[in-house]
Amino acid sequence: MFLKVMSAKFMLPRLIIAMLLLVSPRLQAGTPLYSRAQHEVCNDTLLSVTHPSDTIKADTLLIELEETVVTAFNRTQKLLEVPGSITSLGRTLIERDKPAFNILPLLDHAPGVFAHQGATNTNRVTIRGIGARVPYATGKIRGYFNNIPLTNTSGVTFIQDIDPAVIQSMEVIKGPATSVYGAGLGGTIAIRARQPQARQNGISNTFRAGAFGLLRNSVTADLSGSNAATSLVYSHTQSDGYRENNQFQRDAITSVSQLLPGDDTHLTLLLTYVNLKSHIPSSIDSLTYMDSPRSAAGNWLNTEGYEDSQRLLGGITASRQFRETLSADISLFGIWHDEKEMRPFDVFYEERHTAGSRFNVRRHHNAAKAEFEFSGGGELFFEDYRYSNHENIGGEGIQGGQLSDNREKVITVNLFVQADAGLGQWNLSSGVNLNYSTIDYRDRFHTGQQNRSGRYNYGVIFSPRVSAAYKYHSNHTAFATISHGFSPPSLSETLTPGGEINPDILPEKSWNLEMGLRGQTEDHRLYYDFSLYHMQVRDLLVAERVGEDAWVGKNAGESLHRGLEAELQWIILDYRRNNDQLPEKLSLRANYAYNHFYFTDFTDMDEDYSGNRLPGVPRQVFYASLHNEWSAGLYATAGWRFVGPMAMNDANSRFTSSYGLLDLSLGYQRDISPQWEADLYIRANNLLDRHYPSMILVNAPSFGGPPRYYYPGLPMHFNMGISISFKETTRSF
């Protein structure tokens, strides 16, 4: 079955076979495990030059894949030893890919993750098919930024609001494989901010301009002293957009500070503010998509629809090493979000005030031939959510009378315990997450029988996890996981068509089984990761549309998610001509996902869709990125992405066509002096000028016209940028 699937249409099968042939048992011990402090400074996922003290002869191999260390499973451990599916994306990759608007293009490097980008402010991320039915946002996937949750109580995750310039690394956990972040049904995206103590004092400015009126400028300042360090990043991004009513403007400022008040205490302070205004062209029907893709939907163009929002996020984390075997972390955070959305059918306002805390205590114990780590902690989460609707008179963008006024007070508690054991070649891990949420909803507009106020909860949800990794050779590991995940419904999904709370709505739940192999060759030039998974989702929530922007939910059946994921990083060539020059290197990073997702038991509106493919997710996705650097300072990157057909509705009566996208970037990076550095680059996207949908609206309705399934992708376009950096030659932190 595996060989049949992998031989479908791609060159990847040959790469996988070559990769497996290269992974022979003639290997030696891997590199030493980094300490926690080294991880904070050095973690990155692509390529790194060997230590400067190493003796290098001319025309010899210089660069190897870095030993990647991750923390997303609540332990600092080498990626090779993690008993679960995870992809780590580091700062090297971010600086190489240079995303213009948000981090979503970086997720192409993670197999099993699919990012729709309908417009600059309309996005949807799915992991292993979870979240594909969420209409205009990322749902059923949890997100964190330095342990501060980016997922609100409506289940929507706002990772696109985080500026790429402030990110140090991302860890993408696929499936409900960790109890630390609440056993999310689809998975978790954990983002780490820049680590100022790892950077030299200095300042840099990056300017970028491109097609469709793109202008972006970011300024970064790093300052460190004897026991404190700060990074400050400000960016301004604007674009006229490819389509009508597609203007975009965002200002973002982020500050990360790290303090060392004592030898055993480490404080991290994070503050980020985003001010965004983005117009909304919305989706279009198939005829418009083919003949006039730059057009906006008529009703959105007529009302000049837009989203105007502000978000302020702040937190402080204290880490304390009480003694060699006992440590603890505690985080306090607060979030303010204010948004206005002008829509053809109404004017929508929302305001969220969130406060919470996360804590984690770890105890480490070493025995003669084993090591054990026990940890426990939790998350306490309060949110005050206020939202209202006003009339849009005649759909002309003129605000009228109030239509609703609502308030939700939500309390969520997540508690977890975890036990890990290192027994020679075995790495065992088990954990349990307990979740309890309660919602106090108040309808402050209607009276009498129309008032929908009430309190409800889903009881305690128990989610266990058991996993194991076996290092069958020095640089090669096999792993397996059994885990439980869930996704609670949002308030809108718990309401009946009459507007009353439906107490019978249940959270979606799943059991996930996965197994895989990962490893690297003895010269550390090739890394591979391969996994198979089987996830059965029960109590499937179906959003039934009762208005242009109104849905009600019901538990309608089950879906089965089976698939395989493969990831490869390979340094193909790497030579140094002169010890005083940069090395010349050619590297490949590639991944492939085969997604076999379908309804096993699903009836909606008296239609039986059992056996149909899950809409909104392609059956096959392949992405490869080839990067080369020359000693003269020149570099080039070519990326190829293939996306197979995907169903657009539950009936499987409409499918998208497959498409392939080619991107190319060329750059020149040079040290002007010991303190000054310049980087000049140009990038071409969709070089073959393919016509493709960058996002689809699953089960698009037909309100008086043909269904509007399509968000058209951008045609061939170019942008270019220049970065100037000044750095001190010494650091004092």
Q: Which residues have C-beta within 8 Å of that of residue 262, sequence separation ≥ 6?
A: none
The pLDDT tens digits for 597-641 are 999 988 877 788 999 999 999 999 999 999 998 878 899 999 999
CA 171 and chain centroid, separation: 8
Average pLDDT for 493-512: 73
| CA pair distance 356, 336, nearest whole angstrom | 12
* Token reading at 357: 């805390």
Average pLDDT for 143-149: 86
Least confident of 110-124, 178-192, 437-451, 640-654: 178-192
- The pLDDT of residue 660 is 97
- The pLDDT of residue 135 is 79
List, in sequence order, every residue forming a beta bridge with 361; answer none if it has no partner: 328, 376
pTM: 0.86
The pLDDT tens digits for 248-299 are 999 999 999 999 887 789 999 999 999 999 999 999 999 999 999 999 999 9
- The pLDDT of residue 49 is 30
Q: List the beta strands (DSSP E) in 521-583.
A: 526-538, 541-547, 550-555, 557-575
Provide the pLDDT confidence category of residue 13 given band limits of 50, 70 and 90.
Answer: very low
Least confident of 389-393, 499-503, 682-686: 499-503
List, in sequence order, every residue forming a beta bridge with 432; answer none if it has no partner: 417, 464
- The pLDDT of residue 63 is 42
The pLDDT tens digits for 362-371 are 998 888 788 9
In the three-class reduction of DSSP (H, G, I as helix; E, B as strand; rest coil), residue 658 is classed as coil
Q: Cα-flanking dihedrals φ and ψ of residue 98, to 5°?
A: 50, 60
- The pLDDT of residue 499 is 55
Average pLDDT for 560-564: 95
The pLDDT tens digits for 655-681 are 999 999 999 999 999 988 889 999 999
Residue 703's CB: how many other CB atoms inside 10 A?
12
pLDDT reading at 45 higher than 50: no
DSSP strand pairing (142-145 vs 187-193): parallel
- CATH architecture observed for domain 2-311+339-719: Beta Barrel (2.40)
Average pLDDT for 441-455: 83
- The pLDDT of residue 569 is 94
In total, the chain counts a number of residues equal to 733
715 near 691, Cβ under 8 Å? yes
List, in sequence order, every residue forming a beta bridge with 271; answer none if it has no partner: 255, 314
Helix%, strand%, coil% for the chain, nearest 5: 10, 55, 35
261 near 228, Cβ under 8 Å? no
DSSP conformation letters of 97-146: H--SS-SGGGGGGSTTEEEEEEETTEEEEEETTBTTT-SSSEES-EEEET
In the three-class reduction of DSSP (H, G, I as helix; E, B as strand; rest coil), residue 401 is classed as strand
Mean pLDDT score of the chain, rounded to an integer? 83
| CA pair distance 154, 478, nearest whole angstrom | 37
Average pLDDT for 148-157: 83
CA dihedral over 699, 704, 706, 712, signed as positive or negative: negative
The pLDDT tens digits for 197-216 are 777 889 999 999 999 999 99
| CA pair distance 217, 234, nearest whole angstrom | 8
Q: Where do the structural domains in the chain lie, given as residue ranges?
A: 2-311+339-719
32 near 81, Cβ under 8 Å? no
- The pLDDT of residue 146 is 86
Q: What DSSP designation does 60 have? A: S
- The pLDDT of residue 620 is 96
Provide the pLDDT confidence category of residue 35 given band limits of 50, 70 and 90.
Answer: very low
Q: Which helix (H) or strand (E) holds 14?
A: helix 12-22
**Reduced 3-state DSSP string for 282-308:** CCECHHHHHHCCCCCCHHHHHHCCEEE
DSSP strand pairing (148-149 vs 142-145): antiparallel
Average pLDDT for 526-552: 78
| CA pair distance 480, 712, nearest whole angstrom | 40
Tell me the percentage of the chain whose pLDDT exceeds 90.
51
CA distances from 678 to 129, 634, 668 (A): 42, 12, 8
List, in sequence order, every residue forming a beta bridge with 569; answer none if it has no partner: 527, 589
User: Using only C-alpha atoms, what is the Rg of the chain?
Assistant: 25
- The pLDDT of residue 148 is 85
Average pLDDT for 123-152: 87
- The pLDDT of residue 536 is 93
Average pLDDT for 383-403: 93
Place of tokens 């700062």: 91
Provide the pLDDT confidence category of residue 52 given band limits of 50, 70 and 90.
Answer: very low
Q: Which residue has the higher pLDDT, 547 or 380?
A: 380
Least confident of 159-168, 176-185, 399-408, 586-595: 176-185
**Reduced 3-state DSSP string for 184-237:** ECCEEEEEEECCHHHCCCEEEEEEEEEHHHEEEEEEEEEEECCCEEEEEEEEEE
pLDDT reading at 38 higher than 80: no
DSSP conformation letters of 409-438: EEEEEEEEEEEEEEETTEEEEEEEEEEEEE
pLDDT reading at 36 higher than 70: no
Burial bucket for residue 60 (CB in 10 Å: 0-12, 13-18, 19+): exposed
Provide the pLDDT confidence category of residue 94 given band limits of 50, 70 and 90.
Answer: confident
Comparing CA positions, the residue from 677, 606, 600, 690 lying closest to residue 640 is: 690
Comparing CA positions, the residue from 382, 495, 492, 499 lying closest to residue 437 is: 382
pLDDT reading at 730 higher than 90: no
Q: What DSSP designation does 5 have? A: H
Provide the pLDDT confidence category of residue 731 given band limits of 50, 70 and 90.
Answer: low
Q: Which residues have C-beta within 8 Å of that of residue 398, sequence separation ≥ 6?
A: 392
Q: Which residues have C-beta within 8 Å of that of residue 500, sequence separation ≥ 6?
A: 452
Provide the pLDDT confidence category of residue 580 given band limits of 50, 70 and 90.
Answer: very low
Least confident of 214-228, 399-413, 537-551: 537-551
Q: Which residue has the higher pLDDT, 541 or 317?
A: 317
* Token reading at 88: 């780590």
Provide the pLDDT confidence category of residue 359 given band limits of 50, 70 and 90.
Answer: very high
301 near 281, Cβ under 8 Å? yes
- The pLDDT of residue 131 is 87
DSSP conformation letters of 171-188: EEEESS--TTTT-BSSEE
